Chains A and B, each alone.
Chain A
């Protein structure tokens, strides 16, 4: 994978046998045990591992749920209720899967904003970043399809609204939408194909994740200073250092997860989805799940339907281009006195759009949605290129090691020498 050579030593006869034929243990050791990680990584770097946990959790609970779920318009809602009531610990598996989707997005948003803050998208990590955007897109599709499967009122009307996006395409829009539906409206036929796709897409995500990790292990991790790794002093072996930190962070994350699963499982959903889908009754407010709200606000900020749909897709697509939109010489926003303010303004904008997305599209809500939508795009198209050119970055530390250990780190601190010697000891 990367230039890093595994220090794996095959000890047993079986290990030697395997090492000559399929050196998977050698690869895993090189990539996940003695892999050099910057020694200054903070807790924002723990979300990669947390996201891996989320993916596996969704896969495992999802496969179990699929054993009990019935993908038909007549039985879907009843089968979900049967899982909650009659399957042993079905309520638990179902809560983990439903809350898990939200936790997955919570983690992915923190992961994305970490990348944006520390400039993790800049060279040489462009492909790594773009793969991440693809994963995010696939996650959005999977989450939307999964939410439809519940076949409650929000499921049904959400699916109706989202699939109708495609009818905004000029000329062929209606045909495309009918092709997606498998009919002239969202029906059980649509539900059945959504189930098939909802089962398929997580494996596509898994494939993308493998590529994402591969690309990560070629370029190496970014770090809070944004500096490149220059010497052995800058890194520590992934195991036990980064792994121990990841595990602790994961435990904290799981504690939050547990809180939602056991005490407020419905909080992140909408009560109307406990009403069975009914094509004749439109809910008073059709709102998506919280993680789509900013995009929903952008959609509704535009008076024209086609314009709204295009802008909404552009809001995600633009993320793929940040590597080239950002003209800054330094990666980390920590050393960018002007851009830092814009970064937090952008974060606030996303939260504000999320809030506005949950409100009815009327009065001042629309006006504010338009203002924040405008800033959302200005941030990428104007702020990122311009601020990078005019800003003088703060003085950077000389190296990653200096940023955590101080300027005199070379001065023979005993514990230090021992730690950096650790990789060689193996």
Chain B
């Protein structure tokens, strides 16, 4: 196993072309936000999903696809519920067209060598700008912008508290129905960029100690580290510097990410959109939208769940009474 794992890890390192700081334990704790689709009464807010889609369209869509979401889903109940006509227009004008070959002659490209494509319809997926992963990597300096359909479900926040409190924290998350770790992570990631990594000064023991930016008098006296690898058994700590083409984000594992800050300036909202535009609000809305793309049946699930739960609770009470009555004769 170990050789296989090592081979796997080596492959990752080669693919990424950078040292891997994958320890997911890195980084500060991510705060839980309040989501209107959280908890047992939660459901998606159409206006928020519409704003979130706008952020996706204006910002994310320039690199990322949503291949598991079809345009028709944008019309459906439980989602952003855009009017069907406007989604039809949106699909037709979506810049990333759908592969439409081979044609009647068996060609997959036209005479100029361009792949045959047609505008999207309601039944087509929301595609990103790249035809395949290789093309994406070639355009993105070797990095692959992941498809965002499931991003909110494939990410989570990590517990950072003490061991003793951990079981209680788990019990609380179960009892409150907390499952918005992915949305919390996305929002944190969107707002976790900084111009440069934090400064560290090395003490006599060789450990790196963080220095607040305002206390940095001489840039040469400190090291800027995207992450720290603590030295084992008295060895000095290692400062993982920001690599070329990487950006510092304190919430991304390893502290450096190939994606530049997507919300450097806020996406403007229409006056009737239900919220005022800000980077924070954009992040919140796009995280909500991506939570919907990852879990489009959430609203239906929770509302049906409430009914089933209520039914079961009443059933439990009735069965308890019936059980008591049955046993009354025996004991």
Contacts and interface: CB of A to CB of B under 8 A. Distances in A.
B177 A264 contact: yes
A81 interface: yes
A70 B319 CA distance: 41
Contact of A267 (B163, B173, B323): B173
Interface residues of B, number: 55
Interface stretch (A142-150, A249-257, A377-385): A249-257
B220 interface: no
A415 B328 contact: yes
Interface in A75-95: 81, 84-85, 91-92, 95
Interface in B242-258: 253
B76 to A, nearest CB: 10
Given A248-B323, A279-B8, A280-B15, A262 B153 contact: no
A22 interface: no
B40 interface: yes
Contact of A92 (B12, B294, B301, B316): B301
B35 to A, nearest CB: 14
Contacts of A160: 1, 4
B315 A251 contact: yes
Question: Which of A164, A263, A416 is packed against the most chain B CB atoms within 10 Å?
Answer: A263
B4 A85 contact: no
Nearest to B154: A274
Interface of B: 1-2, 4-5, 8-9, 11-12, 15, 22-25, 40, 68, 149-150, 153-156, 163, 166, 173-174, 177-179, 181-182, 253, 294, 296-297, 301-302, 304-306, 308-309, 312-313, 315-316, 319-320, 322-323, 326-331
B179 A244 contact: no
Contacts, number: 135
Interface of A: 39, 81, 84-85, 91-92, 95, 160-161, 164-165, 167, 185, 236, 240-241, 244-245, 247-248, 251-252, 254-255, 258-267, 271-275, 279-282, 284-285, 305, 355, 360, 404-405, 415-416, 418-419, 422
A241 B326 contact: yes
Nearest to B322: A244
Contacts of B150: 81, 274-275
Contacts of B330: 39, 236, 241, 415-416, 419
Nearest to B23: A284
20 contacts: A81-B68, A91-B297, A161-B1, A164-B1, A236-B330, A241-B326, A244-B319, A244-B322, A251-B312, A258-B309, A262-B40, A262-B301, A262-B309, A264-B173, A271-B153, A271-B181, A271-B182, A275-B154, A280-B12, A284-B22
A248 B319 contact: yes
Contact of A280 (B11, B177, B319): B11
A259 B309 contact: yes
Contacts of A280: 8, 11-12, 15
A8 B300 CA distance: 48
Nearest to A279: B8
A265 B179 CA distance: 8
A264 B5 contact: no
Contacts of B328: 415
A255 B174 CA distance: 14
A284 B11 contact: no
B6 to A, nearest CB: 9
A92 B320 CA distance: 28
Given A271-B154, A271-B156, A258 B312 contact: yes
A405 B327 CA distance: 13
B293 to A, nearest CB: 10
A252 B317 CA distance: 9
Contacts of A355: 163, 166
Nearest to A261: B305
Nearest to B39: A263
Given A248-B322, A264-B178, 20 more contacts: A91-B301, A241-B330, A255-B312, A255-B313, A255-B316, A258-B312, A259-B177, A259-B309, A262-B306, A263-B305, A264-B173, A265-B301, A271-B182, A274-B154, A281-B11, A282-B5, A284-B24, A305-B2, A355-B166, A404-B331
A84 B149 CA distance: 13
Nearest to A246: B323
